[in-house]
Amino acid sequence: QSALTQPPSASGSPGQSVTISCTGTSSDVGGYNSVSWYQHHPGKAPKLMIYEVFKRPSGVPDRFSGSKSGNTASLTVSGLQAGDEADYYCSSYAGSNSLVFGGGTKLTVL
């Protein structure tokens, strides 16, 4: 069982927005601004989309945004495109030299 809770699936039509949640506790998500999000197309290398809750690495479209409220972090994908269909994972520093991941959310573009 993963330490962070993500919905197993999410979906939206092209052009729409979708938000994926990542719920932890005050010992991880709520306690640190060290939340990251990864996009994973099966069989390919995962890709960093968001780090430090809301920062975007260079090359990541601004359609991807991150936020956090309390013990829940969120990834919002705006203007959905077919290529956004993938698995998305969140992670958070959890203190005491530990890092925890979410179980992943499969995003489907309808």
Partner 1 sequence: QVQLQESGPGLVKPSETLSLTCTVSGDSISTYYWNWIRQPPGKGLEWIGYIYYSGRTNYNPSLKSRVTISIDTSKNQFSLELSSVTAADTAFYYCARGLRDSGTYYTRTFDCWGQGTLVTVSS
Give contact residues for partner 1 (rule: CB under 8 A): 2, 34, 36, 38, 43-48, 51-52, 55, 57, 89, 91, 93, 96-99, 101-104
Contact by Cβ (8 Å): 76, 19: yes
Strand, coil or helix: 71: coil
The count of other CB atoms within 10 Å of the CB of residue 108 is: 14
Please, which residue, 74 or 80, has the CB nearer to partner 1? 74
Cβ 14 to partner 1, closest distance in Å?
27
Please, which residue, 12 or 60, has the CB nearer to partner 1? 60
**99: enclosing H helix or E strand:** strand 99-101
